[in-house]
Structure 1
């Protein structure tokens, strides 16, 4: 949902309790459109995040500082020059417009006072952060510099006068009378939806809040104005009065709404349009916003890294398949190589019957059980011996080509099998740490350049752990690095090892601890092996199982690749078994 004027007002009221008269300690710019202002506090330092990103424009307190580039951008250096050491005097929001102005006062070394204003314009794709000299109203700089070619209404350039964003000429619902409320609504088209009318009339409202007002009034969400009488509109007016009173008294009830594991909405008030089991409440609006956008940015980083790895692996798979097609074609072209050797042998055996200038020889094929005659083309410019050597040379060349084709076909198929396991691991990755493990693996295999890291990837990879119904520990690797670690480092000789038969998937270990693994635990482990495999959507999957002592990793094998014997096979339905305790 968009960051509306009501949410901004709630944030403003909370920030005023903490930041007024506090001085700026440091300013950072972790992203092109995001700044972090660190304020000096008695007990701690407080981080205020301001973002003018099109899809995540917002302002709220941050629980931890984000990573910043080694070289601060120009806008960050301008902010540091003018604001660091300055004191926040007050905050201003005109009505419920989505512009919050932070007013600062800074005393320079000469003792003169400079008044500055940081305009935080939270307006979707038109968002901006503009630093202005309050005494002259001149712009010092902006996060997004705008020329007349980009915006005909105003320019955001150093030295230009600051012009606020254009007003939408909407009404502040906190200041209108009941009579004005009815007159404004009844002047709208009767076939318009009530929540859309509220959005068009009043400033600071988002579509979510307008629908919530209608729901709290006890009306259907899509009710139109023509279906509303004095009673229905009166109910809406009472909801607005209650909301205005709560805002005036700072009585907020911040809430986030989940859809499965993903946050989808946030609001400073409770949202009755969503069921209770999907809502999560917070003590402050800033805390709720910090939680919402931290999760959103984590998901964005996760998806970006995941798609990047998917593109890389898919490109390598496509390249490998093209190479395989070329080598298979080379192998087809060498199928007649043996005929060249036989032709050379037959020419040598009939050399007394062949003369320079002959274009062919018709001779019995001594290598054919029926000794049928064959016609062998000759080069008339060559001697019989030279013609024979020509065929022998062609045979040797074709034989070398055949051997290379077989060799490269085997290597390419192994590489495609490995890349398939990596592709499956990427699709099943659930955290950035798992994706980073996969990236590190690809870098070690030469598919990516290695990155210089201050904090290297953990030497102990994570993996999934379950407890079976019988109390046995079951461990599941979700990528090749985890698989190698589980199989070659964690598992003991008498532990049970499982893997889907001829299908890329997870290595699964059942810790026996000297006990016999019961059939029920074996089936539960097999279901996990099937679920965390390429065949998880199939109906019945074969899973091989054997003792770990029968599993070996060949020298030079790629990550996750092992060989095993003394195994048996069980067929199971893929399932992340709900009966197991993770």
Structure 2
């Protein structure tokens, strides 16, 4: 489309007056496969050329070169004056003749787009792509001549070529019959002809030829995305179009909008893929949690075992591996077999079952809470997917990200700059309400967490009266629940020297009330206001990797 022979021919006619007698200041690349040639003429400008696919070329206002990650290309021509700009009579090759006698060649063959610097012997002395394969070779065009003018002016010549061509696909047959015509233009000519009869096709070719000599550039859109570029009317395409008077400006707009479109599509696809992966991951986790819940539903049975053993202590001797006793909780009074630890006394075996019941209940509660949270998160993710599906352009995607920024950060879809900066400096956990809790690993990271990576409204925790980790509950301007605060306190108790205690006093305050005394050792702080909560040292069910 952008490098159709006739598009290039008319583009060169338009921009040639701006290029001749101007001076090449520099040439460089700072994006993959894209060459910028800065030109000083009546107005500073830049030729932008791309060497992917079919490539493109257009003249744009001068722009500033990046300070980093840019590389000089063809330094031999810096300071040269442009003497002439030509297009090959039969092929998509643009030549720029320079005052030094060197020559720039821009080759726009599909899949073989490349830019060369030639000496006066037509020897390639520099190549934008694949220099090892090209430098030292003599540059020669593949086509020496074109039959286009003959096909356009002589019906019988066209008829002979068309009817002798045996290619079944009519579009490809036309492209092989008439030089300089691309697939898109061939489709348009055959559409206008209406049938595969030589006379009708030739008449359509003549009509299109007249339009090619008096081009009217157009961009055709699918929705808000650019789909086709053409310098003739495309009657076979039923899409919204915008017409231009300036070929160069039309190409520039098409390139920019296509770039934005690709960026949008790539970003939307990336977000969609990540959301779907998170949904599937949570569904797999739910299966495991349900299995865990089923395994932990024996709490009541363990309590029954403990109660039966306590009621029958006189019938049990130490050293037994199993005992059969009447189940006093059964209406029919059936007997029940209970496994014992032979190293424990009857009372200790009963206590063992009561302790198992307690732990199982606790595990069951955690698992059930986790199951509910996973179901809730799946609903959140599915809602995000539904909303994302409605985004049909870059602006809509931007609004989607802004509206759902906190959730997208929470799920790791959009990178939280602070989290990315943190890396593995701290341990991180999820507590009730989806809040994150960050934990320092040593004196240095404690200090970093408290004074560099915490907001003044975050809640700060530390086991009272003993050494331990600094712990921060990241509030994000939300109010955490009492349960979330207790869970954060339990984490602080766990990462302290009081971990083995049943209950631990933990200081909780806003981070803004924590300060570092002058000259104090690393990790040492003073707290100006505080509350104390009594919590059990333990970790929540989910740690962030």
Structure 1 length normalisation: TM-score?
0.64
**Which residue in the other structure is 2:85 paired with?**
91
Instruction: Show the 5 A alignment for 1:294-443.
Output: 294-368=256-330, 371-429=333-391, 430-431=393-394, 433-434=398-399, 437=402, 441=406
How far 1:283 sits from its partner (Å)?
0.4
Cα separation, 2, equivalents of 1:313 and 1:415? 11
5+ residue gaps in structure 2? Answer: 419-476, 482-545
Cα separation, 1, equivalents of 2:417 and 2:141? 43
- Give the secondary-structure state (helix, strand or coil) at the position aligned to 2:142: coil
Residues 64 and 364 of structure 1: CA distance in aligned 2, closer, same or farther (over 3 Å): farther
Cα separation, 2, equivalents of 1:13 and 1:78? 26
How far 1:391 sits from its partner (Å)?
1.8
How far 1:419 sits from its partner (Å)?
2.6
How far 1:96 sits from its partner (Å)?
3.5
Residues 355 and 191 of structure 1: CA distance in aligned 2, closer, same or farther (over 3 Å): closer
Cα separation, 2, equivalents of 1:358 and 1:90? 105
How far 1:5 sits from its partner (Å)?
0.8
Residues 174 and 119 of structure 1: CA distance in aligned 2, closer, same or farther (over 3 Å): farther
Cα separation, 1, equivalents of 2:264 and 2:79? 37
**Which residue in the other structure is 2:73 paired with?**
78
Cα separation, 2, equivalents of 1:360 and 1:233? 97
After TM superposition, the structure 1 stretch with the greater mean CA deviation from structure 2, 17-26 or 330-339, is 17-26
How far 1:343 sits from its partner (Å)?
0.8
- Give the secondary-structure state (helix, strand or coil) at the position aligned to 1:163: coil
How far 1:370 sits from its partner (Å)?
5.3
Task: Pick one of 112, 120, 126 that aligns with 1:141.
Answer: 126
Is 1:103 equivalent to 2:103 in the alignment? no
> Retained in 2: the 8 A contact 1:182–1:233?
no
Is 1:205 equivalent to 2:167 in the alignment? no
- What's the C-alpha RMSD, in Å, of the aligned pairs? 3.4
Output one character per residue of 1:368-427: Cα deviation in whole Å (capped at 9) or x when no partner.
455543332334454323322332332233223212212322333333333333333332
How far 1:232 sits from its partner (Å)?
3.9
Task: Pick one of 211, 218, 221 that aligns with 1:255.
Answer: 218
**Which residue in the other structure is 2:245 paired with?**
283
Task: Pick one of 149, 152, 171 that aligns with 2:147.
Answer: 171
How far 1:136 sits from its partner (Å)?
4.8
How far 1:193 sits from its partner (Å)?
6.8
Task: Pick one of 104, 110, 115 that aligns with 1:129.
Answer: 115
Following superposition, which runs of at least 4 residues in structure 1 exceed 6 angstroms of deviation?
Answer: none
**Which residue in the other structure is 2:32 paired with?**
32
- Give the secondary-structure state (helix, strand or coil) at the position aligned to 2:111: helix
Residues 57 and 162 of structure 1: CA distance in aligned 2, closer, same or farther (over 3 Å): same
> Retained in 2: the 8 A contact 1:88–1:104?
yes
Aligned length in residues: 419
Cα separation, 2, equivalents of 1:336 and 1:46? 78
5+ residue gaps in structure 1? Answer: 106-113, 148-154, 453-552, 558-582
How far 1:364 sits from its partner (Å)?
3.1
How far 1:184 sits from its partner (Å)?
4.2
**Which residue in the other structure is 2:55 paired with?**
57
Output one character per residue of 1:180-233: Cα deviation in whole Å (capped at 9) or x when no partner.
7346436614786765444113321112222333455xx21xx33xx43xx546
Residues 214 and 355 of structure 1: CA distance in aligned 2, closer, same or farther (over 3 Å): closer
How far 1:8 sits from its partner (Å)?
0.9
Cα separation, 2, equivalents of 1:450 and 1:116? 51
- Give the secondary-structure state (helix, strand or coil) at the position aligned to 1:125: coil
How far 1:165 sits from its partner (Å)?
4.8
Residues 196 and 444 of structure 1: CA distance in aligned 2, closer, same or farther (over 3 Å): closer
Is 1:265 equivalent to 2:228 in the alignment? yes
- Give the secondary-structure state (helix, strand or coil) at the position aligned to 1:406: helix
How far 1:339 sits from its partner (Å)?
1.1
How far 1:32 sits from its partner (Å)?
1.3
> Retained in 2: the 8 A contact 1:184–1:201?
no
How far 1:237 sits from its partner (Å)?
6.6
- Give the secondary-structure state (helix, strand or coil) at the position aligned to 1:126: coil
How far 1:14 sits from its partner (Å)?
0.9
Output one character per residue of 1:490-546: Cα deviation in whole Å (capped at 9) or x when no partner.
xxxxxxxxxxxxxxxxxxxxxxxxxxxxxxxxxxxxxxxxxxxxxxxxxxxxxxxxx
**Which residue in the other structure is 1:522 paired with?**
none
After TM superposition, the structure 1 stretch with the greater mean CA deviation from structure 2, 443-452 or 383-392, is 443-452
Cα separation, 2, equivalents of 1:96 and 1:439? 54
Cα separation, 2, equivalents of 1:69 and 1:401? 57
How far 1:83 sits from its partner (Å)?
3.3
Output one character per residue of 1:212-271: Cα deviation in whole Å (capped at 9) or x when no partner.
33455xx21xx33xx43xx5466357437635xx63xxx322222233333322222233
Residues 290 and 416 of structure 1: CA distance in aligned 2, closer, same or farther (over 3 Å): same
Is 1:555 equivalent to 2:453 in the alignment? no
Cα separation, 1, equivalents of 2:169 and 2:275? 49
**Which residue in the other structure is 1:485 paired with?**
none
> Retained in 1: the 8 A contact 2:103–2:120?
no
Residues 145 and 451 of structure 1: CA distance in aligned 2, closer, same or farther (over 3 Å): farther
**Which residue in the other structure is 1:570 paired with?**
none
Cα separation, 2, equivalents of 1:556 and 1:8? 63
Cα separation, 1, equivalents of 2:58 and 2:346? 92
> Retained in 2: the 8 A contact 1:36–1:50?
yes
